Structure 1
């Protein structure tokens, strides 16, 4: 994937169609990422949730743009090559990312169901109690980073496969991010106030995650 002449970018209809198509796919791939960030941000005290959400979204964008800016093809090679051998079994990068993503998604499903049950019962939010806040914040930030890494790998591989030029992929990433950024605030409100919708979203995205990586 290389850089194109600026005049090709401005005047080439294929590039613009490529941006439009890839933007729609990146929105679908990134939607699960944004919902999970909203769920994780609710683990912070109420006053810090917006900052945690914006931090997660910022990391989400950087983890997508940096490999593309380098013009790297390593994500495709990483996914298709054997990365781990256990006895007679060979595991490619795709297998490893699928396993890591499944563990993260299942942990988020548990967190979403637990938070939904707490809200339904009207129990106080443990994030506002102050007990173990520092350790909880570190663990949640680690989850956000790991989650973004898994989704970013999938996103970059998709962009590398569909776009032959760096500019097309980066423009699609930025357009999708702009849309998802505007969508993230109402999604965060739903995740924080509606336990049944939150749990349903999480369960649906668990299924979507499995289908997307299959």
Structure 2
């Protein structure tokens, strides 16, 4: 208890907390976009519950992983070498997550552009299977993003209480932002394609990182922010045209 009081009185600890919260929120954007796109394909009465469950699982996973920090750090130790690169368990997890994101985004893009895509896996006639499938896919990506999130946290501070507090705050922010983001995507169909493009880019970045090619996150988020800004201008232009027509 005394150590927590001492930590709370340390300005450096507060700086570390704020920095880590910002980092965790930014890293959570990827996960949030995926959850928003996936839950929007569920029947309306299941969407909110799926978001809460998906983000709740993300919180549980992150807190559980924080309890095994020593083990998580060991995931970066190479277990075999191929193509001149030492692959660790973290690399393999990033590769699996990246391939899944690329497959999922490609499948959803095909479903959106094909005039006759066939039955959808989230058809309301199979709502229970669709809901279980959605939660399973969210859980898979939660695992990938959680491990990356915790490794980032370990690299920024040695204090577990700071990590726990930052993770809880970041996940609460995700929970608050999930429904507005999902509603925005639902009201603006063109944003869906943009978000799927983001998932493709994130998936490729995860694959590259799994092979040891580190892509600075700043470049990725700058590209996402610029694309989102252009899409916002397009939305404003469409709204202006609609008002002019009426």
TM over 0.5: yes
* Aligned-partner SS, 1:43: coil
Aligned match of 2:161 in 160, 167, 171? 167
How big is the shift at 1:159?
0.6
SS in 2 for 1:156: helix
2:139 aligned with 1:141: no
The structure-2 alpha-carbon separation of the partners of 1:133 and 1:205, relative to structure 1 and needing over 3 Å to count, comes to: closer
TM-score, normalising length from structure 2?
0.73
- What is the distance in 2 between the residues matched to 1:200 and 1:88? 35
Task: Note closer, same or farther for the CA distance 1:41–1:111 as it changes in structure 2 (3 Å cut).
Answer: farther
CA offset digits 1:67-86 (Å, max 9, x no partner): 21x2522112112331x577
Output the aligned Cα RMSD: 2.9
Question: Whose relative contact order is higher, 1 or 2, with alpha carbons under 8 Å and at least 6 apart?
Answer: 1
- Give the CA deviation at 1:207: 2.1
Structure exhibiting the larger radius of gyration computed from Cα positions? 2
- Runs of 5+ unmatched residues, structure 1: none
**1:64 touches 1:152 (CA, 8 Å); kept in 2?**
yes
Q: Structure 2: how far apart are the matches of 1:59 and 1:46?
A: 21
TM-score, normalised to structure 1's length? 0.83
| Structure 2 counterpart SS, 1:50 | helix
**2:113 is the counterpart of 1:113:** no
Does the CA contact (< 8 Å) of 1:191 and 1:197 recur in 2?
yes
Q: How does 1:22-171 map to 2 (within 5 A)?
A: 22-68=20-66, 70=67, 72-82=69-79, 91-114=87-110, 116-117=112-113, 127=122, 129-130=124-125, 132-171=126-165
1:202 aligned onto 2:196: yes
Match of 2:69, SS? coil
Q: Is the 8 A contact 2:185 2:192 kept in 1?
A: yes
The more displaced of 139-148 and 151-160 is 139-148
Q: Deviations over 1:130-150 (max 9, x none)?
A: 1x3333333222211111000
Separation (CA, whole Å) in 2 of partners of 1:97 and 1:16: 32
